[in-house]
Amino acid sequence: MIKSIAKSVSQVDMGKNNLYVSLCNLNRQIFTLVILLFSTLINSIYSQTPSYYHYTSSDGLASSTVYDIIQAQNGFIWFATANGVSRFDGNQFATFRINDGLNSNSIIAMAEGRNGELYFGNYEKGINVLKDEKIQNYFTEINGQRFGISYLFIPQDKTNEQTIYAYGTYSGINAIRESKIAGFTNTKISLFQTDIYAIYKLTQLTNGKIIATTSGGLYDFENGNFTKLNITGLPDSDLYSFVEGDDGSYLAAAKSIIYHIKADKVIKIYDVKEYGDLGVSHIYFDSNKNIWFSIMNKGFYFIPSGSDKIIDIGSKMGLQNSLVNKYFEDNEGNIWISTFGKGVYCLNNLYLKSYNENDGLSNNTVYSIAKENSGKIIIGTFNGINIFEDGNFRRLKRNIGKPLTEYIYGIKNFDNTFYVGVSLVNQKIVKVTSEEINFYIFDLQSFSKTKGGLYLFGTTSDFIIVNRRLNYIDEGTNRFYIFGDNPNLNRINDIFEDSQKNVWIATANGLCKLSGLSYSANEFKAEKSFFPNDPVLSSRINYVTQDNQNNVWFAGVNGIARYNLGSDSVTSFTNLFGHDLSASNSMTFDRMGRLWLANMKGLFLIDGKMIKHLSGKTGLPSSEVLSLYLDENENLLYVGTSNGISLLDINQFDNFNPQPPNVIIVEVEAGDSVYTGYDNLVFSPEQRDVKIDFTALNFSSPGTIKYRYKFDGDWINTDFSFLNFVSLGSGTYTLQIMAKSKNSDWSEPTYLNFQILPKFTETFWFYLLILLILICFHLIFIFWRIKVHKKKIIAELELNERINELKHQALSAMMNPHFTFNALNSVQYLINSKRNEEANDYIAMMAKLIRKHLDTAGSGFILVSEEIIRLKLYLDLEKLRFQDRFSYEIINETHFDSSTLMIPNMIIQPFVENSLWHGIINSGIKGLLTISFSFEDVNIDSIISRSLIINITDNGIGINTAKKNKKEDHISKGIQIIEERLKLLSTKMELPKPIMLDDLSHRNPNFQGTEVI
């Protein structure tokens, strides 16, 4: 996009050519010169340059020859060109040609249907329609013949079927109707039966009537019939264009004349013959009641609302010899102008009118602006002073006639006398009078005149010059230092006296307040106050002013500040509503008390609740705003910039309320696929990368668009009109996008919903499959545990069977044949020895012992007390047999209750029997057998457990000697069975080694015997 301001054709140069031709006649020369000067004056009265954007084919427009412009219902602006159609969003053009479905590239007219479909009129190849994002052929032939098209017209009539009128100037009208039942029908409306031979334009009024401008005047067009309109004062001749006003009036354009019609009569005539004796080809009445018109090949012109003055804007934009094809006002109030061969122009922000060096300004850098009582505007620039009146710039000249060309520091107006600080070579004050305006010019940076009549001059050396007379050079200087007592590099930028007679000194090093001023005997005194802790007032201050609320305001390098004279309080603003206020140059207040701030980043309007910002992107000649002046009578704000001066109409600006731009989704790209329809978007699992292109339609200030979006969480700001989402997961997503332009609010969000299908590994079925697999593994594990448990149970059963088998073996062992044989021998011996009573006791004891064995044979465990009784019976029998060759003792060492504790059955007697027969009987000494029961702490797998310990001790020959005397083939079945039983029990109950045998001689060689534990 190119923003340009074209140079105007200099009327002076044209005058010079005329003078050169007429040098032969002095009188004619003088006359021509007078006429030329008058013409120059008239033309310069309205020599303003509008703010505009210029678009050509180099910017993406299909062609620089543009025939028609429309704005579709969705907000896009479309251009019909000689090389296709272009769609524009304010930033980018999208172009459509034959390859996109057009019948030809030469599109001369466009129209929009009821449902938003667009119709494109080809010059010689019928009509195309854009519907559902696709261009198709709509209508090509009538009665087998092609028809020429210059215009397309669709009346806004919702009661009847839609009718498209396709017509040319001399070829009549083709009415095309499309019915859902009957299909296409067309009617040829011929001009042969009328008094007219040409139709220039069909226009629909707000009341629904259709007016035709023709070769025979104005006609009412209804149901295919033409009815002559009788307008008093309107000739029955060629009328080329027609437009409706806002008060029931109309404008009709003919050759070199514009007729203003109301109540069926001409009420005003605009004679434009001096701009071209040709037909007024187009005329337009905008929403601000301005009249725009163009003359064939003579550019275009402008009549401001409420004025009869004609402004040749075309010449200012280099279009003085160009053909304008169409005027169009978009929904933002911008005026679009299409041309033949020179592209389109968008005249934006029409509340601004700008002037620069091409308009006669001596220099584009404007440092100071003031107003003289008669209405003249005094403008100080980098190259002298300009007097601006009725749009005309005149240079201020010295008394010797030469223009003032010095750099202007500033201009102050006191009592309609202007005091100008300039960069003079000498320091004398020079008085210049021009047009009865007095200027005092001096080589100092700033100036003020107090209510007490003191003249204050600011220097660059940290002091002000104070004097009661203006010409301080002749009267002598009285220096008053600001920050020190000696000259120092510190420029005084501004001097201002407030309503309480305080003088404020704005310097490069900060602000100083002077109060209690007195001047006597050429001595100036004042109390100085500084603001070292304030971030704004302790730095460079450029400008000081006062509002009507008793506040003194300051503009400086770090922002702005406000000093309240009533409370002596300071409020500083370095940033306001997100806008950086640093590098502020000047300020003023309008009728509503709003603050206008000149800043190096643009022009700010601050009303306390919000802030608006204007810059080079919104119509100002430059974003570097250097000076301001408010004309309260006209409610105009003069804005001096580094590239010219602008006049801002505050009334129009307040009426211009930029609406938030709507966000439109342009394209969605997912994977390798591109989508232009955005309802119910569903992407495959492989389409994880999604790119979204969107735009916000804004044509007034397209470079100021900001976006923010919300996808998953908070809002995120961006300056880009596209979003890339990479490696998205499966699921349903909602994207919200909002936009705002300069000085507008955020728009309502535009929503885009889409779904990414999951991969199989992300589906419910996959997770269900995983769950089933886990369940199967779990079941397998359970079955394995059950199997292991069964094996364990079987092993336990086998163990129990083995234990039961051992029980039977133990039962058999109880009836040891050796014991029984010896017992019977003993009974026999007693009987033979006539010791019948003892034999009888022996038999009784033996019977009792056998009875005990039989009673407990089926029990795996037996009470300790029962075991002791059985042991006593056995030992008493053996003692009776061996005639007291041994004695025994049974000891309960820990005195536990033996009647409640159980031990495995028949595990003690075999060891007792072994001690007797293999230990004591063979020892040759009287034996002693000790059986003890006690509880002791036993370490089982690092766990201390309380366990029953049974000790069987004898003083026999010892286990080692007994093993030597034992026969090789002797097998102690009882001992083996007990050992196996106790081993099985120890494995089952996780007990330590159950039996320990020890020869007592190992402990002490003087002892003998065996201990069984």
Q: Which of 74-88, 728-742, 750-764, 965-979 has the highest mean pLDDT?
A: 74-88
pLDDT band at 25 (very low <50, low <70, confident <90, very high): very low
Domain boundary among 332, 351, 370: 351
Determine the number of helices (DSSP H) and then strands (DSSP E) in the chain: 12, 76
Tell me if 172 is assigned to some domain: yes
Residues 497 and 595 placed together within one structural domain of the fold: yes
On the question of pLDDT at 635 being above 90, the answer is yes
200 lies in which domain range?
A: 49-351
Residues 970 and 877 placed together within one structural domain of the fold: yes
Query: Which secondary structure element, helix H or strand E, spans residue 1004, and what is its range?
Result: none
Residues 540 and 686 placed together within one structural domain of the fold: no
Residues 694 and 562 placed together within one structural domain of the fold: no
Tell me if 542 is assigned to some domain: yes
Q: Residue 230: its pLDDT value, please?
A: 92
Residues 371 and 385 placed together within one structural domain of the fold: yes
Strand ranges of the sheet holding 249-253, from the earlier edge strand across to the other edge: 241-244, 249-253, 257-262, 265-271
Tell me if 4 is assigned to some domain: no
Cα angle: 957, vertex 962, 965; to 5 degrees: 120
On the question of pLDDT at 963 being above 80, the answer is no
Tell me if 279 is assigned to some domain: yes
Residues 744 and 866 placed together within one structural domain of the fold: no
How is residue 637 written in tokens? Answer: 């704000």
Residues 149, 123 contacting (CB under 8 angstroms): yes
Beta bridge partners of 21: none
Cβ neighbours of residue 713 under 8 Å, at least 6 residues apart? none
CATH code assigned at 634: 2.130.10.10
Domain boundary among 605, 623, 655: 655
Tell me if 776 is assigned to some domain: no
Nearest of 181, 145, 149 to residue 166 by alpha carbon:
149
Rounded Cα distance, 60 and 888, in Å: 127
More confident position, 179 or 675? 675
Residues 67 and 175 placed together within one structural domain of the fold: yes
Query: Beta strand 257-262 with 249-253: parallel, antiparallel or unpaired?
Result: antiparallel
Residues 142 and 290 placed together within one structural domain of the fold: yes
Q: Residue 384: its pLDDT value, please?
A: 93
Q: Exposed e or buried b for every residue in 103-125, given b needs 16+ CB within 10 A?
A: bbbbbbbbbbbeeebbbbbbbeb
Q: Residue 260: its pLDDT value, please?
A: 94
Rounded Cα distance, 966 and 949, in Å: 28
On the question of pLDDT at 500 being above 70, the answer is yes
If you count them, how many residues does the chain have?
Answer: 1013
On the question of pLDDT at 22 being above 90, the answer is no
CATH code assigned at 709: 2.60.40.10
Tell me if 913 is assigned to some domain: yes
- The 10s digit of each residue's pLDDT in 408-456 is 999 999 999 999 999 876 667 889 998 889 999 999 999 999 999 999 9
- The 10s digit of each residue's pLDDT in 160-219 is 788 999 998 888 888 888 776 656 777 788 776 677 889 999 999 999 999 999 999 999
Rounded Cα distance, 309 and 290, in Å: 11
How is residue 823 written in tokens? Answer: 């017992």
Rounded Cα distance, 454 and 478, in Å: 11
On the question of pLDDT at 478 being above 90, the answer is no
Q: Residue 10: its pLDDT value, please?
A: 32
Residues 554 and 697 placed together within one structural domain of the fold: no
How is residue 363 written in tokens? Answer: 């220099």
Rounded Cα distance, 767 and 749, in Å: 37
How is residue 609 written in tokens? Answer: 């609740």
More confident position, 840 or 384? 384
Strand ranges of the sheet holding 408-414, from the earlier edge strand across to the other edge: 408-414, 417-422, 437-442, 430-434
How is residue 91 written in tokens? Answer: 């930033």
Q: Residue 821: its pLDDT value, please?
A: 74
Rounded Cα distance, 84 and 145, in Å: 23
Tell me if 421 is assigned to some domain: yes
Cβ neighbours of residue 774 under 8 Å, at least 6 residues apart? none
Q: Residue 793: its pLDDT value, please?
A: 83
Phi, then psi, of 640 in degrees rounded to 5: -90, 130
Q: How far is CA 596 from the centre of its chain?
A: 30
**Section 949-971 average pLDDT:** 73
Nearest of 574, 579, 499 to residue 544 by alpha carbon:
499
Residues 86 and 176 placed together within one structural domain of the fold: yes
- The 10s digit of each residue's pLDDT in 685-744 is 889 999 999 999 999 888 889 999 999 889 999 999 999 999 898 889 999 999 998 888
Residues 250 and 309 placed together within one structural domain of the fold: yes
Residues 724 and 628 placed together within one structural domain of the fold: no
Choice among 217-231, 368-382, 658-672, 946-960 with the minimum mean pLDDT: 946-960
Phi-psi region of 227 (alpha: psi -120 to 50; beta: other; left: phi over 0): beta
Q: Residue 382: its pLDDT value, please?
A: 95
State the total domains in the chain. Answer: 5
Number of neighbouring beta carbons within 10 Å of residue 616: 20
Residues 845, 877 contacting (CB under 8 angstroms): yes
Tell me if 773 is assigned to some domain: no
Choice among 457-466, 575-584, 876-885 with the minimum mean pLDDT: 876-885
